[in-house]
Amino acid sequence: MTVHREEKIWAFFVLGLTVVFLAALAYAAWGLGLTTPYTVERIPAQKAAQELKPGVDCVNPNVKQIVNNVVVCQDGRYYVNVLAMRFTWLPNRIVLTDPKEVKFRITSTDVIHGFEIAGTNVNVMVFPGYIAEITWKVPSNMAPGNYLIICNEYCGAGHQNMYAILEIRK
Ligand code: CUA
For residue 92, how far is its CA from the centre of ligand 1 (angstroms)?
A: 13
How far is 99 from 32, CA to CA, in rounded Å?
A: 17
The DSSP secondary structure of 135-167, one letter per residue, reads EEE--TTPPSEEEEEEE-S--STTGGG-EEEEE
| Domain boundaries of the chain, sorted by first residue | 1-34, 36-168
For domain 36-168, the CATH class is: mainly beta
Is ipTM strictly over 0.85?
yes
Cβ of 110 below 6 Å from ligand 1: no
| Helix (H), strand (E) at residue 97 | strand 93-97
Question: By alpha-carbon position, which residue is closest to atom 1 of ligand 1?
Answer: 113
Cβ of 154 below 6 Å from ligand 1: yes
For residue 37, how far is its CA from the centre of ligand 1 (angstroms)?
A: 18
Task: Dump pLDDT digits (tens) for 59-89.
Answer: 444 555 566 667 777 677 888 888 899 999 9
Q: What is the pTM of this model?
A: 0.71
For residue 85, how far is its CA from the centre of ligand 1 (angstroms)?
A: 8
Task: Dump pLDDT digits (tens) for 9-64.
Answer: 999 999 999 999 999 999 887 887 666 555 566 777 777 766 666 544 554 445 55
Ligand 1 atom closest to the CA of 86, numbered from 1 = 1
Cβ of 151 below 6 Å from ligand 1: yes
107 DSSP assignment:
E
